[in-house]
Structure 1
Amino acid sequence: MRMNQGVEWSVHVLLSLAWLDDDEPVSTASLAASYELPVAYLNKQLQALVRAGLLRSLPGARGGFVLARRPEDITLMDVVAAIEGREFAFQCTEIRQHGMGQEAPQSAFRRKCAVDSAMQHAELQWRKALAAKTIADIRAEADSHAPSAARLARKAYGRA
């Protein structure tokens, strides 16, 4: 499964906002500049996070974005769902009923397709793993690997 870059960008933005520990908004331009990202494309991701209830958008000259929830309450699954949608990646099209399966009796297809079952099970495990990891968890891990990252984020957004 391949996710678009918006997922990665969104997790980094949420992490940066979590490091700020305040309700002071950060503009799209500032967020984009801090990661050298295109403003227009990042703004689409930020709007998706707002629609999902992960960010709040504050209007005005000093407006921007702030976390809508505590970092402990934002999971990676929340981010993936906001950016990629909630649809399952694998969609069974029942090809087993075509070609060589075309002549099989209908009773052969009463049970769920084994391929579909296996793929759905795997994706559910993946989703559970994403739902178990929060932005707070990532912040803690990043803090242990790169202790200066929080300071750099605060400096980048004028909070140093």
Structure 2
Amino acid sequence: MKMSEGVEWALHTCVNLSWTDPGEAVPAARLAEVFALPTAYLAKHLQALARAGVLISTTGPRGGFRLARDPGDITLLDVVTAIEGPEDAFRCRQILKDGPGGRPDVDYRRTCTVSQAMRRAELAWRAELAGQTIADIRRTVEQRDPAAAPATREALR
């Protein structure tokens, strides 16, 4: 499975926004500048996060983006799904229907051993992402690098 670079950008941006003052919106250009990212491309991902209810977008001179919920209520799966979409990574095309002994009346998505194994793996992956929040990531970063939060707050001003 390969995710777009937008997932990495979105996760880092959410962690960075978790260090801002509550209610403070940060312009997309400033968020992009922190990691030297292309503003237009990051803004596209920020809008996807806003549509998914992860961020709130505000317009005007003090406009920008901020977290829509407490960082402890935003899972990594929320962010990945906002950027990549909700579709399954593995899509069973039911090729067994055309194989030896295949039957056109059978739904092989439910009976195929390969399909079932891939579904179990994907569910485990999604459960792992759903079990971690932006607050968890923020906490780990702060433990490893206590200067990260103040440095980020300063960079976002």
Structure 1 Cα separation of the partners of residues 57 and 127 of structure 2: 29
Q: Is the partner of 1:96 in helix, strand or coil?
A: helix
Q: TM-score when scaled to structure 2?
A: 0.93
Matched, 1:74 2:96: no
Question: Once the 2 structures are TM-superposed, how far is the Cα of residue 110 of structure 1 from its aligned partner?
Answer: 9.9
**What is the match of residue 151 of structure 2?**
152
Q: Which residue of 2 aligns with 1:131?
A: 130
**For residues 1-160 of structure 1, what are the structure 2 equivalents within 5 Å?**
1-102=1-102, 112-158=111-157
Q: Give the residue type in structure 2 aligned to 1:135.
A: I
Quick one: percent identity of the two aligned structures? 53
How far residue 106 of structure 1 moved from its aligned partner, in angstroms, is: 6.0
Structure 2 vs 1, CA of residues 116 and 22 (structure 1 numbering), >3 Å: closer, same or farther?
same
In the alignment, residue 117 of structure 2 is paired with which amino acid? A
1:22, distance to aligned residue in structure 2 (A): 2.3
Q: Secondary structure at the match of 1:57?
A: strand
Q: Aligned residue pairs: how many?
A: 157
Q: Which runs of 4+ in 1 moved over 3 A?
A: 99-102, 104-107
Using the alignment, how far apart are the partners of 2:36 and 2:116 within structure 1?
A: 42
Question: Rg bigger for which structure?
Answer: 1
Deviations 1:92-141 (A, max 9, x none): 01112224345x6967x696111000000100000000000000000000
Evaluate the alpha carbon distance shift between residue 74 and residue 92 of structure 1 in structure 2; reply closer, same or farther with a 3 A threshold: same
CA distance change for structure 1 residues 92 and 110 in 2, over 3 Å: closer, same or farther? closer
Normalised TM-score (structure 1): 0.92
Which runs of 5 or more residues in structure 1 are unaligned?
none
Matched residues in 2 for 1:91 and 1:110: separation?
A: 9
TM-aligned CA deviation for residue 21 of structure 1: 3.4
The amino acid across from 1:9 in the alignment is W
Gaps of 5+ in 2: none
Describe the SS at the equivalent of 1:100: coil
- Separation in 2, partners of 1:17, 1:105: 51
